[in-house]
Amino acid sequence: MAKRDSQGKALSDYPRPSVAVDTAVLTVPAGGPLSVVAVTGDGDLRLPGTFLHEGETLADAVGRSLVEKAGITGIHPVQLHVFDAPDRDDRGWVLSVAHLAPVRMSQLADRARTELVPVAELPPMPFDHAEIVALAVAELRARHAEHPDPFGLLPEPTFTIRELHELHEAVAGHALPRDTFRRLMEPQLVPTGSLARGTVGKPAREFIRGGA
């Protein structure tokens, strides 16, 4: 039995918006550019989304929408912004909570249902989806600015500085000075004691994340 206010009304007696989630799923293909996962909607490419169900957190709804619409599992969404223009959706009063969900390529199990679009080459998208992508890219870049692989996007738990550097360059969308990068990141890494094998050139040390 829901509590009632001074006028005998429960919360559900008042007008309330529907709450949707829309997610910019960002990934870095091996050797490729930072890309966003798009799904096909009404003849266009758009971000996966859904409505929040009773008893769910927003992250639960994001997870459900990604499993259902894109076959993506194991995500850890980050809230970006609430889009709240009262007239943004012609079906009625809808708020959309925009999210970022960074994923490894290996988490994209069902590639037939999704399209990988480089964020630098975004096609027209409905609603405020282009803006959501921009917010997501900015957030991903901000988090990569100071810390090594903050979302665990590298394919393996151990990696070389070069591999880390390449990931961060793909995220940034431009070259990063290698020495400055190494000096910033290395103190935040733990050497495994092993060297990379089978690569051309001097074998590089391997690391995992962690450290001072």
Partner DNA sequence: GAGAATTAGCGCAAATCTGCGCGAATCTCC
Partner DNA sequence: GGAGATTCGCGCAGATTTGCGCTAATTCTC
Residues that bind a copy of itself (CB under 8 A): 2-3, 10-12, 14-19, 51-59, 79, 81-82, 84-86, 90-95, 97
Q: How far is the CB of 57 from a copy of itself (least distance, A)?
A: 5
C-beta of 76 vs 93, nearer to a copy of itself: 93
102: buried, middle or exposed (CB in 10 Å: 19+, 13-18, 0-12)? buried
- Phi, psi values for residue 97, rounded to 5°: -95, 110
Contact segment (CB under 7 A) with DNA among 20-28, 87-95, 107-115, 203-211 equals: 203-211
According to DSSP H, which parts of the chain are helical? 58-70, 129-146, 161-172, 178-185
Q: Which of 3, 91, 174, 197 binds DNA (CB under 7 A)?
A: 197
Beta strands in 17-91 (DSSP E): 18-27, 35-40, 45-46, 49-51, 78-83
Backbone angles phi, psi at 114, to 5 degrees: -130, 160
Structure-token pair, residue 161? 């500085």
Residue number, 90 or 179, with CB nearest to a copy of itself: 90
204 binds, among a copy of itself, DNA, none (CB under 5 to 8 A by kind): DNA
Which partner, a copy of itself, DNA, none, binds residue 31 by CB below 5 to 8 Å per kind? none
| Binding interface with DNA (CB under 7 A) | 160-162, 177, 179-180, 183-184, 195, 197-205
